[in-house]
Amino acid sequence: MSDWGPIFVAVILFVLLSPGLLFQVPGHHRCIEFGSFQTSAAAVVVHALLYFALICVFLLAVRLHLYIG
């Protein structure tokens, strides 16, 4: 049986933390912008750090596992 938990967590976090899709930190005109569909280099770095921190929490601390089949 394969462990699909890390794959689902990584895909969901990647989609949710794409800069400019749902929110962007830092924004162009404000600290946080919602649904701007624009991005900057600073926003990419911040979202990459958030992604890394959250994936470490879910995979190492919580040990989320999902077995299919």
Q: Are 67 and 6 in contact (CB under 8 A)?
A: no
Tell me the pLDDT tens digit for each residue of 13-66.
Answer: 999 999 888 889 888 888 888 988 888 899 999 999 999 999 999 888 988 888
Tell me the pLDDT tens digit for each residue of 11-25.
Answer: 999 999 998 888 898
Closest to 67 (Cα-Cα) out of 23, 5, 20: 5
